[in-house]
Amino acid sequence: MVMVSTARMRGNITVDISDMKVSNRVGDVLVTYALGSCLGVTMYDPVACVAGMIHCMLPLSKVDPAKAAKMPYMFVDTGVPALFKAISELGAQKDRLVVKVAGCAQILNDNGLFKIGQRNYTVFRKILWKNNILIAGEHIGESFSRTMFIDVATGRVVITASGEEIEI
């Protein structure tokens, strides 16, 4: 797809693990790598042409409140509200948001002992439910890592995983 080659050109903004980025610059592409059990979320307002992306590792900040205070994007319950706030500060409106999600795989433990990916997704869904927002597209679960891209100009979200490119 054109999206991936565009992402490798100038304007590429990397969202690291436990990180969040927002943009309203049409030439930008936000990208995050290594979405295993982590949760990757994109939010896009097509009217304001504002995009945001977050890469959260853990579901709940209560496991380490001190770390959550320093690194709110590490946790779904503190990071996702921060993403809402950041994109709204650039002009996005909640009722126009197109939300897409990827990751939440079962990577580290085949017997499902910790189920971090599943827990990340559950906490995320609860946040959206409380805010009356639906998921427009997703690529979650399984047992492999993904890369996620969003093009600020179009809102297109592409996932690369296992040698494939999939638009969600």
In the chain, where the domains are located = 2-167
Residue 89: predicted pLDDT: 97
- One DSSP character per residue, 31-65 reads EEEEESSSEEEEEEETTTTEEEEEEE-BS-GGG-H
Q: Please enumerate in sequence order all residues whose Cβ is within 8 A of that of 17, keeping only pairs 6 or more positions apart, or say none.
A: 32, 34, 38, 55, 57
Q: What is the pLDDT along the chain (168 residues), one digit of tens a residue?
A: 333 443 344 469 999 999 999 999 999 999 999 999 999 999 999 999 999 999 999 999 999 999 999 999 999 999 999 999 999 999 999 999 999 999 999 876 555 557 899 999 999 999 999 999 999 999 999 999 999 999 999 999 999 998 899 999
d(Cα 158, Cα 4) in Å, to the nearest integer? 8
For 7, other C-beta atoms within 10 Å of its C-beta total 22
What pLDDT is attached to residue 11? 67
User: Could you tell me the strand order of the sheet in which 146-151 lies?
Assistant: 12-14, 29-35, 146-151, 157-161, 164-167
The token pair that represents 131 in the structure block: 């805010």
Q: What fold is seen in the domain 2-167?
A: 60s Ribosomal Protein L30; Chain: A; (3.30.1330)
Residues 123, 60 contacting (CB under 8 angstroms): yes
Q: In terms of C-beta density within 10 A (0-12 exposed, 13-18 middle, 19 or more buried), how is residue 82 classed?
A: middle
Residue 126: CA atoms inside 13 Å, Cβ hemisphere, count?
11
pLDDT at residue 114 in the model:
74
* Beta-strand pair 39-45/50-56: antiparallel
pTM for this prediction: 0.90
CA distance 99 to 159: 14
